[in-house]
Amino acid sequence: SQKIEQNSEALNIQEGKTATLTCNYTNYSPAYLQWYRQDPGRGPVFLLLIRENEKEKRKERLKVTFDTTLKQSLFHITASQPADSATYLCALVSSGNTPLVFGKGTRLSVIA
Amino acid sequence: DVKVTQSSRYLVKRTGEKVFLECVQDMDHENMFWYRQDPGLGLRLIYFSYDVKMKEKGDIPEGYSVSREKKERFSLILESASTNQTSMYLCASSPAMGNSPLHFGNGTRLTVT
């Protein structure tokens, strides 16, 4: 069956460290993979999109990698801050005309 | 900036009531979506629409219907609300499928008693 798994429900790290979140998928051949941030009581907000032929994408302190052989995406936040504390969702699209399918999310807490 | 507005932040309804959740987007997006979000289950797609008057079932359409009479508005209808439909409902829109990000509203927390 098709699955999207985010490595852990919750992740605690110290301020200033790099947070690394994992998204693994099974029985998909995603054309695109997206990452979102969700704060409590709010809707998810888009962060980054990476295509199947891209290995890496960066935006400010954020970096996403996409390994179609390992069927995995890694999401990194460098120099993490307490304001980065949120739930991060990965989502993928199998082909052009299908909607996004979401993982369950990882709740990141950055401790000062 | 794209704005997706959901008509209510909180709603309390009784079992058996007909419930309407409204969503409006202001960016002329073709596609609109309804998800529900539950602890431990994540975001699950209920219905989506890629054009006016068009609708497609998502992963969990049972107990729901939708209406899209105008491009900017997408309504989710619970024909006869049940307690297992207590959830956070999130509406989203996008200009295209696949390579476009979704723009979400802030959700409606529905409680059915």
Q: Which helix H or strand E contains B51, and what residues bound it?
A: none
Q: Chain B neighbours among A 3-22 (CB < 8 Å)?
A: none
Q: How many CB pairs under 8 A join A and B?
A: 61
How many DSSP H helices and E strands does chain B contain? 0, 11
Q: Report d(CA B33, CA B60) in Å as an integer.
A: 13
Residues A21-77 pLDDT 10s:
999 999 888 888 999 999 999 999 999 999 988 999 999 999 999 999 999 999 999
> In 3D, which of B19, B29, B21, B26 has the Cα closest to residue B75?
B21
Q: Residue B50's pLDDT is what? A: 93
Question: Is B107 within 8 Å of A43 when comparing Cβ atoms?
Answer: yes
Q: Residue A96's pLDDT is what? A: 64
Best residue of B6, B97, B109 to probe chain A, by most A CBs closer than 10 Å? B97
Higher pLDDT, B86 or A94: B86
Q: Residue A99's pLDDT is what? A: 85
A8 has a pLDDT exceeding 80: no
Q: Report d(CA B31, CA B15) in Å as an integer.
A: 31
Note whether A102 contacts B: Cβ–Cβ < 8 A.
Answer: yes
Largest CA distance in chain B: 40
Provide the pLDDT confidence category of residue A90 given band limits of 50, 70 and 90: very high
Handedness of CA A28, A32, A33, A39 (dihedral sign): negative
Contact A49, B101 (CB under 8 A): yes
Task: Tell me the sheet residues that pair with A14.
Answer: A111
